[in-house]
């Protein structure tokens, strides 16, 4: 970065996860890894779309990364990501799937929807510490677009 280059805004995380224990574990992992990025949590795809499409002060400002579970009520993770990709304003969002499923169908479907990564919860490390470390490295190394 040069002096003329603006410093990147802190990356926010939209956690789309219906399981309270997993959501708490993700937050604890970030705290343990001393990652202070804001985490906004919703419990399903419909609620996530409401957050992403709102124009109120509660709107999630860019840049941000989405962590999305697959098995959720009302709208599952695949349906949610498919809806994102069909919306011109949301289609370029960075999505990581965070799931218990290691089924080939789920993996294939996720990557067909252009996710940035597919993380099986049990592979994310004890208490999701490896997940926190991986995401911290990702947003430190990757240039993220801000705005349109």
Mean pLDDT across 133-145: 74
> Of the CATH numbers 3.30.420.40, 3.40.50.2300, 3.40.50.1820, 3.30.530.20, which one belongs to the domain with range 12-141?
3.40.50.2300
State the maximum Cα–Cα separation within the chain, in Å, rounded to a whole number.
47
By CB atoms closer than 10 A (0-12, 13-18, 19+), residue 17 is buried
What is the dihedral sign for C-alpha 88, 91, 108, 78? negative
User: What pTM was estimated for this model as a whole?
Assistant: 0.84
Distance CA 55, CA 6 (A): 25
**Alpha helix positions (H), the chain:** 20-32, 45-53, 77-86, 104-112, 129-141
- Digit-coded pLDDT (tens) for 106-136: 999 999 999 999 999 887 766 677 777 887 7
Span 45-94, pLDDT tens digits: 999 999 998 855 455 566 678 999 999 999 999 999 999 999 998 888 99
**Residue 91, beta-bridge partner list:** none
């Amino acid at each position: 970065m040069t002096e003329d280059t603006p410093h990147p805004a802190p990356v926010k995380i939209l956690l789309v996860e219906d399981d309270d224990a997993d959501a708490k574990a993700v937050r604890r992992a970030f705290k343990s890894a001393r990652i202070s990025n804001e985490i906004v949590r919703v419990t399903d795809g419909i609620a996530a779309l409401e957050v992403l499409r709102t124009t109120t002060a509660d709107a999630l400002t860019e840049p941000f990364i989405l962590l999305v579970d697959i098995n959720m009520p009302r709208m599952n993770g695949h349906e949610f990501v498919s809806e994102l990709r069909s919306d011109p304003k949301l289609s370029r969002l960075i999505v990581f799937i965070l799931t218990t499923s290691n089924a080939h169908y789920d993996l294939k479907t996720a990557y067909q929807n252009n996710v940035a990564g597919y993380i099986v919860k049990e592979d994310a490390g004890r208490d999701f510490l490896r997940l926190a470390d991986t995401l911290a490295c990702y947003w430190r190394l990757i240039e993220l677009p801000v705005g349109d």
